[in-house]
Amino acid sequence: MAWGIRIILLILLTVMSTAYAGNEDNQPFKSSLVIELEINDVIGPATADYIVRNLQKAVDRQAMAVLILMDTPGGLDISMRQIIKHIIASPIPVISYVAPSGARAASAGTYILYASDIAAMAPATNVGAATPVQIGGFGGFSEDKSSPDKSKDSPGPLNDPMTHKMVNDASAYIRGLAEMHGRNAEWAEKAVREAASLSAVEALKLNVIDIIAPSVSDLFQQLQGRKVNVSGKELILNTGNVEIQSIKPDWRSQFLAVITNPSMAYILLMVGIYGLVLEFSHPGSLVPGTVGGICLLLALYALQLLPVNYTGMGLILFGIALMIVEAFMPSFGILGLGGVVAFVIGSVILMDTEMPGFGIDAGLIAGFALSSAAFFIIALGLLLKSRHNPVVSGKEQLLDSTGVVVDDFTGKGMIHIHGETWQATCDQSLHKNEKVRVTAITGLHLQVVPIKK
């Protein structure tokens, strides 16, 4: 009897495991949780950090899908690729939704839309204009600003070998993303090479996107029962009664967004340099050195995430060095003027990209140029000169000062100096009202010598 029960249980387990294996590649989700993220601005290091961390959170919480609400003019290439790598590697579906009406997924947003398992748009939104505008690991994407009637054969930026190489790389990249999800690869390449753009209706007709939905609720109604291929597995979406959990950028993402703003990184760099210069000119102050060190470290961290032109950085440092030399060795303004010019040029070319949102405001540059010139040439010059002036207070000021003997004494006695009476010692005999000079200070005793007439 016991053997019979064991055989029956073994058969049941075998049948159940076979049924599970057969349904593994085509099974509905049991979870109803959807994690909602958002991209509402230029795509940069802070955006990439926010998306990547929360994609992992969605996996850890066993969510059914991740929904990315998108409205972006574009962003940095390195940040965009970081996001796309994690979207492709995600074991749960990623739905990119360009919304609300009036939003756009331009340039880098187009690549993210193509990389997503489900691409959706709200009415009156647009996608495209994905021509890269800056080559290199820190490149970016932006809309084409060339004239619409410009001939393709006329000389232009695409005829530049490096730009041509960059465009070919971007075209191959977006074509690969399109082929991965069975979307229109020809138009994707056109969006890169010709900065083409489509409305939501046109994008659906050309198989650029999968769905047009006026709202998130309508989007999930249309996704009910839809099959998606994620990491080689075909899954069925059960979106009839989803639970949407929105995750907003936390303090870390907001802090990263602040310090990776080019203008803020520039300010931190300047404050850091000012603080260290003040600390070196007045050792022991502590506060300028501490604040300057922290600001400089934050600036360097932000700048290594941003597309920095190191020639511009070098010119800024060279300009500051010239202004400091002007403070030490006045040259009738020649070095100071050269320092200001180098500082301004370096600040203008510091950000090595044409992406909107990744430049430094001209007013900020002008303000720091003038304040730096005033600080390094005038203020620092006065501080350095003050160090060579005689001491006018404290014990050090008593050295070499002149005092008057109160009463006759030999060895030890009292003298009157600076309105005070001090104990004094002298190797010679001194008489009342005789003038003496202080040669040393030991505790509260002065060493004096008589002043010869």
Q: Which of 347, 366, 375, 374 is nearest to 266 (CA)?
A: 347
Task: List Cβ neighbours of 344 (8 Å cut-off, separation of 6 or more).
Answer: 319, 365, 366, 369
Domain shared by 441 and 364, yes or no: no
Residue 140 counted as domain residue: yes
Task: List Cβ neighbours of 390 (8 Å cut-off, separation of 6 or more).
Answer: 397
Domain shared by 332 and 286, yes or no: yes
Residue 61 counted as domain residue: yes
Average pLDDT, integer, range 429-445: 85
Q: Which of 170, 177, 172, 214 is nearest to 195 (CA)?
A: 170
| Phi and psi, residue 332, nearest 5° | 60, 30
What is the DSSP track for 219-230?
HHHHHTT-EEEE
Q: What is the pTM of this model?
A: 0.68
Domain shared by 443 and 363, yes or no: no
- CATH label of the domain that carries residue 218: 3.90.226.10
Domain shared by 278 and 400, yes or no: no
**What is the band of 364 on the pLDDT scale with cuts at 50, 70, 90?**
confident
Which residues in 139-156 are b (16+ Cβ under 10 Å) and which e?
bbbbbbeeeeeeeeeeee
The predicted-structure confidence for 196-213, as pLDDT tens digits, reads as follows: 999 999 999 999 999 999
Angstrom distance (rounded) from CA 222 to CA 209: 13
Residue 152 counted as domain residue: no
Domain shared by 217 and 358, yes or no: no
**What is the band of 15 on the pLDDT scale with cuts at 50, 70, 90?**
very low
**What is the band of 342 on the pLDDT scale with cuts at 50, 70, 90?**
confident
Domain shared by 241 and 182, yes or no: yes
Helical residues (DSSP H) of 282-420, grouped into ranges: 287-305, 310-328, 334-348, 362-373, 380-386
- Does pLDDT of 443 surpass 90? no
Residue 403 counted as domain residue: yes
> For the chain, what is the domain count?
3
- Does pLDDT of 343 surpass 90? no
Domain shared by 119 and 218, yes or no: yes
What is the DSSP track for 202-247?
HHHHTTS-SEE-SSHHHHHHHHTT-EEEETTEEEE---TT-EEEE-
Helical residues (DSSP H) of 105-160, grouped into ranges: 108-115
Q: Which of 26, 108, 28, 35 is nearest to 71 (CA)?
A: 108
Domain shared by 320 and 210, yes or no: no
Residue 1 counted as domain residue: no
Give the H/E segment covering residue 134: strand 132-134
Residue 412 counted as domain residue: yes
- CATH label of the domain that carries residue 409: 2.40.50.140
Domain end (from 386, 404, 421): 386
pLDDT at 292: 87
115: domain range? 27-145+157-250
Angstrom distance (rounded) from CA 10 to CA 40: 55
pLDDT at 129: 87
Residue 50 counted as domain residue: yes
Domain shared by 299 and 194, yes or no: no
The predicted-structure confidence for 19-50, as pLDDT tens digits, reads as follows: 333 333 444 455 789 999 999 988 989 999 99
Helix (H, G, I), strand (E, B) or coil at 284: coil
Least confident of 39-43, 83-87, 115-119: 39-43
The predicted-structure confidence for 239-248, as pLDDT tens digits, reads as follows: 888 999 999 9
The predicted-structure confidence for 166-191, as pLDDT tens digits, reads as follows: 888 899 999 999 999 999 999 999 99
Average pLDDT, integer, range 142-162: 46
Domain shared by 291 and 408, yes or no: no
Residue 22 counted as domain residue: no
Domain end (from 191, 217, 250): 250
Domain shared by 316 and 403, yes or no: no
Angstrom distance (rounded) from CA 173 to CA 243: 34
Domain shared by 43 and 73, yes or no: yes
Using the 8-state DSSP alphabet, how is residue 92 labeled? S
Angstrom distance (rounded) from CA 437 to CA 450: 6
Maximum distance among all Cα pairs of the chain, rounded to whole angstroms: 132
- Does pLDDT of 70 surpass 60? yes
Domain end (from 352, 367, 386): 386
